[in-house]
């Protein structure tokens, strides 16, 4: 690490709604880690809530903290322990372009052992080996980040760092589509056409869906329609559920992927899903939601939660690389890291049709 600076620029969250660019020590990789130069990092919908202090004592556990978890970059140093393995050292050699993942499980609990590392039973216990980058461990709103190789996937040729920074949203969407068992000939509904919703539409189509309905409004709905979705504008129809039923011949959709996390959208999702259908909850409500458990039970709906993007990085990137899924139109704005406040406001206020805002440290 002789040619790597001892300090780096990082966006440091000092407390709720209190952040600034500071000089911070450049981290050093240990164990199964590599040090990466962050080339692009996208603002996630969770980040403004963390910044506002919506998860006190949890995300982050303490202040000051460096958050940010949707990133791509270049490997610039490899931990000594990894160099002992020729295969690993070759895969993550200095100069390798990678896309990051937020979660790294402990690797020893039952959930991790069965592939469910995003719901690790030792969550938050860094001594166990668990990491949640940008949440309980240092994140990517910085010039450098250390990450386990388990949480970094080499970028396919032809994909840019900006596209790699879309992996988190794309992976969440793919995980939701997989959880919903979307297959050839299915009818699918997506509620909430933000980034995860747009990717959910595309991965549903790539999985063989006969058609995908999207409930939304404004430019985001228009973009989904331009990509081939059947749009339902909830500001222009009296009853979005009735419109979905009309489209599906009164039956409802086979699978709904709910990406908004609001009471209204969840109501539409439940009522639009056919009996014995699948309801995938990809949105994260921050308010109390009233759920009609009786009708859902009688309809035998499968309710499927989505926690991040386990085991989806490689296929999600592959479908981007072969053109089946695109980030074009989803990545709308780019800023340097030192303009984070402007970037955050652009994202939160949806200025100029903002959907995915990327920072370049």
pLDDT tens for each residue of 238-278: 999 999 999 999 999 999 999 999 999 999 999 999 999 99
Query: Could you report how far apart the first and last alpha carbons of the chain are, in Å?
Result: 19
Q: How many residues does the chain have?
A: 361
> pLDDT at position 104, please?
98
**pLDDT at residue 348 tops 70:** yes
Q: What are the beta bridge partners of residue 331?
A: 328, 356
- Which pTM does this prediction carry? 0.96
> pLDDT at position 334, please?
98
Structure tokens at 161: 């760092």
pLDDT in tens, 35-62: 999 999 999 999 999 999 999 999 999 9
Report how far residue 315's alpha carbon sits from residue 320's, in angstroms, rounded to the nearest whole number. Answer: 9
**pLDDT at residue 185 tops 70:** yes
b/e 122-157 (16+ beta carbons within 10 angstroms → b): bbeeeebbbbbbbbbbbbbbbbbbbbbbbbbbbbbe
Cα dihedral 297, 120, 161, 225 in deg (nearest 10): 0
b/e 7-46 (16+ beta carbons within 10 angstroms → b): ebbbbbbeeeeebebeebebbebeebbbbbbbbbbbbbbb
CA angle 164, 220, 336 (to 5 degrees): 40
Which pLDDT band, with edges at 50, 70 and 90, does 1 fall under?
low
CA angle 351, 356, 361 (to 5 degrees): 100
State what percent of residues in the chain have pLDDT above 90: 97
**pLDDT at residue 209 tops 60:** yes
Kindly report whether the peptide bond that precedes residue 60 is cis, defined as omega within 30 degrees of 0.
yes
Report how far residue 100's alpha carbon sits from residue 78's, in angstroms, rounded to the nearest whole number. Answer: 15
Per-chain mean pLDDT for the chain = 97
CB-based contact 200:282 (threshold 8 Å): yes
CA distances from 349 to 191, 265, 302, 354, 355 (A): 20, 20, 34, 8, 10
CATH architecture of 173-305: 3-Layer(aba) Sandwich (3.40)
CATH 3.40.50.300 fits 7-166+327-360, yes or no: no
Q: Which of 142-146, 247-251, 283-287 is predicted least confidently?
A: 283-287
Domain positions in the chain are: 7-166+327-360, 173-305
């Amino acid at each position: 690490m002789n040619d790597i600076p001892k300090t780096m620029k990082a966006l440091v969250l000092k407390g709720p709604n209190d952040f600034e660019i500071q000089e911070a020590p450049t981290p050093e990789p240990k164990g199964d880690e590599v040090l990466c130069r962050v080339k692009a990092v996208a603002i996630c919908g969770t980040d403004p809530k963390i910044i506002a202090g919506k998860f006190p004592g949890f995300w982050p556990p303490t202040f000051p903290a460096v958050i940010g978890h949707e990133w791509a970059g270049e490997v610039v140093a490899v931990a000594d322990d990894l160099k002992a393995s020729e295969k690993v050292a070759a895969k993550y050699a200095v100069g390798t372009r990678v896309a990051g993942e937020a979660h790294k499980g402990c690797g020893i609990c039952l959930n991790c052992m069965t592939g469910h590392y995003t719901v690790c039973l030792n969550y938050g216990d860094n001594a166990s080996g668990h990491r949640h980058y940008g949440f309980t461990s240092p994140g990517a709103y910085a010039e450098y980040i250390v990450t386990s190789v388990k949480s970094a996937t080499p970028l396919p040729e032809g994909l840019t760092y900006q596209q790699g920074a879309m992996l988190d949203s794309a992976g969440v969407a793919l995980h939701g589509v997989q959880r919903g068992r979307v297959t050839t000939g299915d009818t699918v509904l997506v509620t909430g056409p933000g980034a995860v919703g747009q990717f959910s539409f595309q991965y549903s189509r790539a999985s063989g869906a006969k058609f995908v309905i999207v409930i939304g409004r404004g430019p985001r709905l228009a973009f989904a329609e331009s990509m081939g979705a059947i749009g339902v504008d909830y500001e222009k129809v009296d009853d979005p559920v009735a419109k979905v039923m009309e489209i599906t011949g009164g039956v409802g959709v086979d699978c709904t992927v709910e990406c908004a996390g609001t009471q209204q959208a969840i109501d539409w999702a439940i009522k639009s899903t056919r009996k014995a259908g699948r309801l995938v909850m990809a949105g994260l409500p921050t308010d109390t939601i009233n759920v009609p458990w009786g009708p859902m039970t009688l309809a035998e709906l499968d309710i499927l939660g989505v926690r991040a993007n386990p085991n989806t990085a490689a296929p999600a990137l592959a479908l981007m690389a072969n053109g089946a899924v695109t980030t074009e139109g989803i990545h709308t704005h780019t800023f340097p890291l030192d303009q984070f406040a402007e970037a955050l406001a652009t994202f939160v206020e949806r200025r100029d049709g903002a959907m995915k805002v990327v920072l370049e440290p």
